Amino acid sequence: MKKLKSELEKALQDLNSEKQLRRKAEIQASEMKLNCQAIERSLSILTANYRSLQEQFNQQKLQVSVNNGASTSQMASNNNLETKCNLMKYAMDKLIKLTEENGGCRTVAFSARFGALLVSQPSNNNIFPGFGIKKVSTLNKIVTHLNS
């Protein structure tokens, strides 16, 4: 009889421990489900953000291609030109030779708003020894000698 009682108590303890393990497993499974749902929500939000940014990029790309036919004064007055310059893909359109010598030119500054690149280069003029400045317009690709 004692043996039967002890086996019954052991079986009940095993049952209780199995129930506790099952509860822990169910809690972990529900936590995993919640984490998965949160990740899915984040993914859908990020996907929507990506699509809207891609749409904005395509619209600005279209505006840039339309603005390529506009005059340079219209392009310079455009407040979003700096943003558009950051989104454009670059390709070589025209090679502008700044100096006859090998090298020696250095970029001083660039303004996306005005579409201008200032370049320092060795001076060819004996009256102004040292370096001179050239302004390169990135809109119409014209080089202007400011001081040489």
Structure confidence by residue, pLDDT tens digits, 57-82? 888 877 776 665 544 444 444 545 55
Mean pLDDT (whole number) for 122-131:
74
Provide the pLDDT for residue 38.
92
State the pLDDT confidence band at 16, using cuts at 50, 70 and 90.
Answer: very high
> In degrees rounded to 5, what are phi and psi of residue 139?
-80, -45
Whether 114 shows a pLDDT value over 60: the answer reads yes
Provide the pLDDT for residue 75.
47
